[in-house]
Amino acid sequence: GDSVTQMEGPVTLSEEAFLTINCTYTATGYPSLFWYVQYPGEGLQLLLKATKADDKGSNKGFEATYRKETTSFHLEKGSVQVSDSAVYFCALNSGAGSYQLTFGKGTKLSVIP
């Protein structure tokens, strides 16, 4: 079945550091890929998405590129801020009429001043 594997957290970075959160996936067909973010005390919200190979999703300074050859969708940001402290979830939908998002386990990011 479909699965998403994220790097284990927690990740602690200093402000303005470079961020990478690794995400790899296993899926049948041609999945769409997503990053969701959960800020403290809030529900998840969509951060960015990519629907086909080589697409780059971007939002709020975050980027991720859909790499079919490595089945990866790593999240990157060049300079993190304290306000980026949150839990980040990689997710996929395998398409072909599937109604289900498959989520990774989440990676907690803490950014310190």
Partner 1 sequence: DVKVTQSSRYLVKRTGEKVFLECVQDMDHENMFWYRQDPGLGLRLIYFSYDVKMKEKGDIPEGYSVSREKKERFSLILESASTNQTSMYLCASSLIRDLNIQYFGAGTRLSVL
Q: Which residues are at the interface with partner 1 (CB under 8 A)? A: 32, 34, 38, 41-46, 49, 89, 93, 99-101, 103-106
- Whose Cβ is closer to partner 1: residue 45's or residue 81's? 45
Q: Minimum Å distance from CB 100 to partner 1?
A: 6
Q: Judging by beta carbons within 10 Å of its beta carbon (0-12, 13-18, 19+), is residue 64 exposed, middle or buried?
A: buried
Q: CA–CA separation, 37 vs 1, rounded Å?
A: 24
Q: Minimum Å distance from CB 88 to partner 1?
A: 11
Hey, which residues does 88 pair with through a beta bridge?
Answer: 37, 107
